[in-house]
Amino acid sequence: MAILTYSLAEDETAAWRIVFDRDDLLLYIAFEKNGVPAKPIDWISVDDFLACRPRDDLHKRALERFLMIMSCALTAKPE
């Protein structure tokens, strides 16, 4: 399984990450607490991530970063 991750937002206690499974072409969001990586069973769908109201500043920063990444990807000129 080829997994790529990208940090959306993090602080000293937690982190939100994009998780991309290249083999299965699946995109998830992972929440890590106290440096412990989230298990695949705990990853959430992008739909669920976008549907919930941010519960704190870190979550809000992660959401804003995800939206920025998506906007940039969708407006980039193809090669």
Taking the alpha carbons at both ends of the chain, their separation in whole angstroms is 28
Instruction: Give the pLDDT of residue 1.
Output: 65
Structural domains counted in the chain: 1
Domain span including residue 26: 3-75
Q: What is the pTM (predicted TM-score) of this model?
A: 0.88
Q: Are 5 and 30 in contact (CB under 8 A)?
A: yes
Please give the DSSP secondary-structure letter assigned to residue 24: T
For each of the chain's 79 residues, which pLDDT tens digit applies? 689 999 999 999 999 999 999 999 999 999 999 989 899 999 999 999 999 999 999 999 999 999 999 999 999 887 7
Number of Cβ within a 10 Å radius of residue 63: 19
